[in-house]
């Protein structure tokens, strides 16, 4: 259990000073850490979770964050974007996670303020905790040596890996729908396809607008990202492209599945109609025979036969049976 | 209550001279204000509402507005656009507002003439009054210090925020349609989906063509926008992108909802057909039995039974009841 | 009535020499006008209508028009395009007009040869006469002072205004179709939607390829268009963009209307099926009752009742009436 | 009849040396022609038709053609493309022609090797013979004076003109389908629409990839095309754009026609269902009447009427007739 | 049988040192080969198949491969991509092959590390062995003389040729589906179309992202590809474009085929409904006749006719026969 970061409540979930690619043990209050980060290459990373306006403003003041960026970090529901303010950058990314219980995709948001010697991360929502990403980053001295850009990479890489986890789950969902559509059960798949399309649109809204920021980070033009860190961001860009492709491909596949579902409904209706018609024939033909022997002609020899009645019943049964065989053979029943 | 701006009727709804990031109390007639704006950084903002041709021409003459721009400001129903004339810019934006009563989106228009030391805003339509935007702007000395570019920002920011309000309402409408489509009620949702698609197309016509002007304003190449104001326009560009994404996403969702609606109709038709067929069977089978006992054979033992008649009725009831159970079990009834 | 332009028949519909932004009264034969245009800024405009090959070749030779351009001017059915030949430009635009009688869009074509000191316009088809455009141009000394580029502007502006008139008519047509689709009448709207989609495709073929030429004219790189004339072409480009947007929007709307039409057909079929089934039930249930009292059992008390027959008829009527009420309540009838 | 080009069989269909914009009469063997082409501006054009590998390799060796290009010229089924090898260019174009007999579009291929002083054309397939293109070219000294680039123009112009012929035929086919879809005949148009869509896809595969090569030829950057020849290629590019637009427009129209066809099927099914139901009512109502008079009540006054039987028949006829009128009026029959 | 490459198991499937465009016989262990490649133009090619992590890390260390690239080579399921690390390039390509047995497309992956004097290829999956590509390459001294770039070409060319084989098979599959859709058999083609669309999406995911890497290789900016090798990569780019076009075209064709399939279902349902109705009429009309002669009127002359009964039966048969002829003629039966 690390020492608390000197803030009331659990808002600042972690904070540390990094020097020479290592986490130092110095200081526990974030203001103190900030003050100690006075050597070349030092930087602090302060992680906040669901802060309220006052808390974020306090940090913003100390680090000199741009008011427009701070406002965006306070209010969730921003678009993923990368904004430059002089030597500082501001990044918003959507986080995604999959809830198995109801096959739903949930979204959160992480805002990152990255300056020459600090990173402030503001996370909204429950998913994609950053603690383990930080721990992993602290294992890799090489990435940490990229400074704040390394933190940026660690966070984005983690979030994009979660995207791939989510798309893997969606692939499974689409497979299930596919099986259901082409099964003989009369499942009403349209609602499920609709919901899944909605989830996919949600994922797309997180993935697609992030591509441009990541490509810019990989281009080497962003001051926080040193030249040797760009291959890492290109790798992330590639994973992001894979997520985007999967999502597009699933969406197209679902549209096709929906069309197939419509075709199945039509085919079933046709089958039903033929079954019903065949069944009706089994009743109305005997009814006609009964009608014939219900006629009142004086001269109807069958009527006076001793076995006329059983004969008529047999005739009906034979007619119905004959039709049955006929329809069975032609596939109508 | 501020003094009137020296014009007949309520055409010029407000006018003021801004100096050092503050609204001055000087002058009440707009010509006078124009004359007083003689210090570096001074500018006047004249707000007109539904002016007629003469009124606008009078102002145009004083400020030297380009005739083509004036013509566009007189006639509403322009496309959103940004036009440069030497050191002056002309901006047309569509305003949108949502009428709760009939779930409709209304559109208006604002034309802005922005010169080095003046802003003339011409508003058409009822929605999106600019008075509160002006008041808010007057609270923020920082934005006012951007000069006419600050007014530009205040107006566009206000209008784009209204776009987001409208898209939020549309999200609710789509949710309602979604619920209606997948409910078991036989609602005819196609008309509603159509109307909503129409509204969305209306919104899109306001939002999409505005993106290029805002991006140009954010690029820093427009003389009226000082360098330090560009982050504000980038923020607006981002909000606009969010509105555009929401609108695209809703449109796609509505198309899917429509397809699902079609599938629901087909499924219901199929259900109806099976229900009808099952119901018919409950009638025609007893009819056959009645037909049988209506035959005129001499030797039909049942006919002379004391309880032949009740027996026949029971037989009919039993046949109907048996079919009922059968159909209920197989889900046809 | 102006003097004839010295040509057999009505091929050269008008010709004039413009000097200092005014139409001169000099000369009546186009060759003579050409010869008189010897001062700086002078230019002639020769307007031809449906010329034959010889007539056009004669003019082409005098003005030194490029053979490929001349060939394109002779044969209608070209794409809108802007072609540069040294100091001369060649423009083809499609003209559109709406025929109220049969809700149809007709197309014609105008070819413009624009040199440093002349304009030759060649018009094919009946619509969009240029006479009034010329008269309007002659009122505006400012536009005329732009030289041949002013003529270019006057013609394109006129044609694009006609595009907007046509799209306004199409908007009305789409509104009518919309009303028809959602009315309860059994109108077969698919043919009408198809025809309108065809008209819209026609309009699109005129509008879309013209955008690039107009943007190039507005860019200031075309020698015939002086710098101060570019805002005029940007204005036209904007009107063109509006026409293109309207057309795209109508096309999308028609597709949605078509889908809604399909849904209406399905819903109506479903309604019909239920109405028919309910109607059938009103007949077959009394038929069953008649069948029951047609049975030949010896012991059927009702048969010997004095009012047995009316009782049976009443039973039938009651059954039918009961079903009627039932179906009415459930919305099947 | 020209002299043979010194090759076994009909592989080299024509060959000639061009000097000063004229075909010379010199030499008959292509190797000899090649040797004689020693003056500035001289060039030879060798035309091959369906050559085998050896024949093409022999020519390739003499003219120093690039092995990759030769391989592409041997195997048909290449994509249209323009490839530069130093001072030589290699062009592949698809040829199209329309077979009236079965409304089908056939495809062939022409490969052109164009060097500073030679053109080798290799044609595969039956359509689009180049002989008449060569004769026409030989009439136009101006185009011939462009050298090998003139040949290039003559061939592409011919091929693209054929594209326009093919699209004209397709327009007629689409018109026929349109008529068929909206006729009252029960034609099954879906197969025909499908086949036409396939043909259109075939045409698109020829037209679209050729646009980039032609634009590059028109840009003036290709050494074989002199500056004064570029307007000719821009003209071809324009024709190609027209073909592409027509094809796109037809494809969209066919999709709409298909949708309309689906709607027609639905409407017809609905009509049929109502006709059938009305027809059924004409039978079942008299059946009910017959059932009523088949009841065995002791006291049924009608049964003992002298004209009871005709009365009953009349009642049936009246019921059927009444329904007939009713259904006719409501449009069900 | 070549000597083993000094590795446990079959992981390194081949390795060789190439000098002066020839494979040398020197050395059998890859470390030894690496050491011997000390002359200008020498390079080694080491081919691995399904290596485990340790094996690949060992090779990576010797050749100094970038850790991110190595990680991507270990884990399959990467996107096709080209990555540059200083003087080294890393390429991932998807391999495709067609399994005839179940009409399925399988995918594998090849990762290539290309340095100034070495190529390391890492293949995953069963298809597209590289042995024969290597043998073919060793036959062509010209391509081998391009050094590691030649190997790159040989591998990509082989893989892209396989793409074309796969698309050829898909063309056949689409043809079969087409035949099935338009046959009169009641085949349920929607499942098959769905599966094929899925396969096509798979192919597209391999083909489309490879276009950008191949275009970059053909551009001449990649150090491993000498200027004289670029036409070869342009040729590959062209084949890739053909594969992409075929795939797009098949996908569009399948969508059309699916629509046609839907139309066929509707038409068949309509046919069935009419057949059923006609069949029903053949029963209910005789039933009405039987009902008529079952009426109990005292005065019904036919009842006492000697041949009344046969007359009635004949009447029924005549009615049914007449209807039969009628329906046959109108195409309902």
Q: What is the DSSP string of E201-242?
A: HHHHHHHHHHHHHHHHHHTT-STTS-GGGHHHHHHHHHHHHH
Q: Which helix (H) or strand (E) holds C112?
A: strand C104-114
Better pLDDT: D275 or D4 = D275
| Neighboring chains of B (3 or more beta-carbon pairs < 8 A) | A, C
* pLDDT score at A307: 92
CATH code at position D178:
3.30.460.20
Neighbours of chain E (3+ CB pairs under 8 A): A, D
Residue D7 confidence class, pLDDT cut points 50, 70, 90: low
Query: Do residues B210 and B61 share a domain?
Result: yes
Q: How many domains does chain C have?
A: 2
CA angle C221, C226, C231 (to 5 degrees): 85
Which residue of C188, C197, C258 is in closest CB contact with D267? C188
Q: What are phi and psi of C75, to 5 degrees?
A: -90, 115
Q: Tens digits of per-residue pLDDT, C195-218?
A: 999 999 999 999 999 999 999 999
**Contact between D45 and D18 (Cβ < 8 Å):** yes
Average of per-residue pLDDT across C316-321: 95
8 Å CB contact of D260 and C193: yes
Predicted TM-score of the model (pTM): 0.88
Q: What is the mean pLDDT of chain E?
A: 90
Assess whether B60 and B207 both reside in one domain.
yes
Classify residue B199: in a domain, yes or no.
Answer: yes
The reply to whether D162 falls in a domain is yes
What residue of B is the nearest CA neighbor of A198?
B253
> Nearest Cα to E110, choosing from E140, E151, E73?
E73
Q: At which of D263, D296, D317 does a domain end?
A: D263
Strands B88-99 and B104-114: antiparallel
| Inter-chain touch D231–C273, beta carbons under 8 Å | no
Residues E223 and E288 in one domain: no
Whether B83 contacts B69, CB under 8 Å: yes
Cα C327 to Cα E109: distance, rounded to the nearest angstrom: 65
Judged by phi (left if over 0) then psi (alpha if -120 to 50, else beta), residue B234 lies in alpha
Mean pLDDT for the stretch of residues E270-298: 92
pLDDT classification of D27: cutoffs 50, 70, 90? low
Rounded distance, CA B74 to CA B60, Å?
11
User: Which of E258, E290, E308 lies nearest to residue A288, judging by beta carbons?
Assistant: E290
Helices (H) then strands (E): counts for chain C: 10, 7
CA C332 to chain centre: 43
Q: Pick the closest to residue C192 from D196, D264, B190, D194 (CA basis).
A: D264
To the nearest whole angstrom, how far is the Cα of D18 from the nearest Cα of chain E?
31
Note whether C111 and C209 are same-domain residues: yes
CB pairs under 8 A between D and E: 124
Q: Is residue B4 part of a domain?
A: no
Contact: B256, A194; criterion CB under 8 Å: yes
Assigned domain for A274 exists: yes
Q: Give the closest residue to A153 by CA, choosing from A185, A109, A119, A197.
A: A119
- The residue range of the domain holding A281 is 264-330
At D105 the pLDDT is: 93
The pLDDT of residue A223 is 84
The predicted structure's pLDDT at residue C76? 80
Chain D residue numbers touching C265 (CB-CB < 8 A): 263, 266-267, 270
How many residue pairs from chains B and C have C-beta atoms closer than 8 A? 124
The set of residues, in sequence order, having a beta carbon less than 8 Å from that of E122 and lying 6+ positions away, is E48, E49, E51, E56, E73, E110, E111, E112, E113
- Cβ contact (<8 Å) for A260 and E193? yes
Task: For chain E, give the number of residues.
Answer: 333
Q: Do D245 and D298 share a domain, yes or no?
A: no
Lowest mean pLDDT among A24-33, D54-63, D310-319, E133-142: A24-33
Indicate whether A20 belongs to any domain.
Answer: yes
Cβ count within 10 A of residue A231: 18
Whose CA is closest to D131, among D288, D5, D311? D5
Residue D234 lies in a domain: yes
Same domain, E48 and E171: yes
Mean pLDDT of A133-151: 89
Residues of C in contact with B269 (CB under 8 A): 266, 269-270, 273
**Does C229 lie in the same domain as C310?**
no
Size of interface A-E (CB pairs under 8 A): 125
Q: Which residue of D has its CA nearest to C310?
A: D300
Using the Cα atoms of residue B28, residue B29, residue B30 and residue B31 in order, give the sign of their dihedral: negative
Q: Are residues D206 and D314 in the same domain?
A: no
Final residue of a structural domain among C263, C289, C312:
C263
Per-residue pLDDT at E115: 93
- Give the phi and the psi of residue E128 in degrees, each rounded to 5: 50, 55
Question: Shortest CB distance from C309 goes to which of D263, D285, D297?
Answer: D297
pLDDT tens track for D289-329: 999 999 999 989 999 999 999 999 999 999 999 999 999 99
Nearest-Cα residue of chain E relative to residue A281:
E280
User: What digits encode the pLDDT tens for the residues A267-279?
Assistant: 888 889 999 999 9
- The pLDDT value given to residue C331: 85
Torsion on CA atoms C71, C73, C76, C79, rounded to nearest 10: 90
Distance CA A326, CA A320 (A): 10
Of E114-123, E135-144, E150-159, which range is least confident? E135-144
Residues E167-183, mean pLDDT to the nearest whole number: 93
Q: Do D197 and D50 share a structural domain?
A: yes
The H or E element containing residue E61 is helix E53-63
DSSP state of A156: H
Same domain, A307 and A227: no
Which residues of chain B are under the pLDDT cut of 70? 1-4, 6-10, 26-27
* Cα-to-chain-centroid distance, residue B333: 43
Strand-by-strand arrangement of the E43-49 sheet: E22-23, E12-19, E43-49, E118-124, E104-115, E88-99, E81-85
| pLDDT for the residue E40 | 86
Residues C168 and C218 in one domain: yes
Asked whether residue A33 is assigned to any structural domain, the reply reads: yes
Tell me, what CATH number does B271's domain have?
1.20.58
Q: Do residues E249 and D202 make contact, with C-beta atoms less than 8 angstroms apart? A: no
In chain A, residues with a C-beta closer than 8 Å to the C-beta of B245 are 79, 205, 209
- Structural domain ending residue among the three candidates B263, B288, B317: B263
Whether residue C109 is predicted with pLDDT greater than 90 in this model: the reply is yes
Residue A294 belongs to some domain of the structure: yes
Q: Do A266 and E261 touch (CB under 8 A)?
A: no
pLDDT at C1: 42
Chain D positions with Cβ closer than 8 Å to C: 178, 182, 231-232, 234-235, 238, 241-242, 245, 249, 252-253, 256-257, 259-260, 262-264, 266-267, 269-270, 273-274, 277, 280-281, 284-285, 287-288, 291-292, 294-300, 331
Query: Is residue D325 domain-shared with residue D194, that is, in the same domain?
Result: no
Q: Which of D182, D235, D253 sits opposite C191 (nearest CB)?
A: D182
Task: Give tens-digit pLDDT for D153-180.
Answer: 999 999 999 999 999 999 999 999 999 9
Q: Token digits for C159?
A: 């044609």
Side-by-side strand order, sheet with B118-124: B22-23, B12-19, B43-49, B118-124, B104-114, B88-99, B81-85
Residue D10: band (very low, low, confident or very high) from pLDDT cuts 50, 70, 90: low
- Mean pLDDT computed over every residue of chain A: 90
Cα atoms in the 13 Å half-sphere on the side-chain side of C130: 32
Burial C273-288 (b: 16+ CB within 10 A, else e): bbbbbbbbbbbbbbbb
Maximum alpha-carbon separation in chain C: 123
Rounded mean pLDDT of A224-235?
Answer: 90
**Can you tell me the distance from the alpha carbon of E105 to that of E202, in angstroms, rounded to the nearest whole number?**
8
pLDDT of the residue at A140? 86
Nearest chain C residue to B188 by CA distance is C267
Distance CA D218, CA D156 (A): 12
Rounded Cα–Cα distance for residues B152 and C269 (Å): 56
User: Which residues in chain A have their CB less than 8 angstroms from residue E273's CB?
Assistant: 273
pLDDT for position E1:
42
CA atoms within 13 A on the CB side of B190: 24
Q: For residues A75 and A150, is the Cβ–Cβ distance under 8 A?
A: no
Residue of D nearest to E258 (CA): D194
């Amino acid at each position: 259990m690390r020492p608390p970061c000197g803030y009331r409540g659990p808002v600042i979930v972690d904070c540390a000073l990094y020097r020479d690619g290592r986490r130092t043990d110095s200081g526990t209050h974030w203001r103190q850490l900030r003050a100690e980060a006075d050597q070349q290459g030092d930087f602090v990373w302060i992680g906040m979770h669901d802060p309220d306006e006052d808390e974020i403003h306090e940090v913003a003041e100390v680090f000199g964050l741009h008011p427009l960026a701070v406002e965006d970090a306070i209010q969730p529901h921003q678009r993923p974007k990368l904004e430059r303010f002089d030597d500082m950058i501001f990044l918003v990314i959507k986080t995604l996670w999959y809830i198995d219980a109801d096959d739903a995709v949930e979204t959160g948001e992480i805002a990152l303020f990255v300056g020459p010697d600090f990173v402030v991360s503001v996370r909204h929502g429950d998913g994609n905790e950053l603690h383990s990403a930080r721990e992993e980053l602290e294992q890799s001295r090489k990435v940490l040596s990229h400074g704040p850009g390394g933190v940026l990479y660690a966070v984005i890489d983690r979030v994009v890996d979660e995207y791939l986890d989510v798309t893997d789950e969606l692939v499974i969902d689409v497979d299930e729908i596919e099986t259901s559509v082409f099964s003989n059960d009369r499942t009403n798949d349209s609602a499920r396809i609709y919901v899944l399309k909605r989830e996919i649109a949600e994922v797309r809204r997180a993935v697609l607008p992030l591509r441009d920021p990541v490509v810019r980070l990989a281009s080497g033009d962003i001051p926080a990202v040193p030249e040797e860190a760009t291959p890492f961001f290109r790798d992330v860009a590639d994973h992001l492209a894979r997520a985007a492709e999967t999502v597009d491909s699933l969406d197209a596949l679902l549209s096709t599945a929906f069309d197939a579902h419509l075709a199945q409904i039509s085919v079933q209706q046709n089958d039903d109609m033929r079954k019903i018609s065949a069944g009706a024939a089994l009743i109305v033909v005997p009814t006609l025979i009964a009608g014939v022997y219900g006629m009142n002609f004086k001269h109807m020899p069958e009527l006076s036969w001793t076995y006329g009645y059983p004969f008529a019943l047999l005739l009906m049964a034979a007619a119905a049976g004959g039709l049955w065989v006929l329809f069975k053979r032609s596939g109508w029943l």
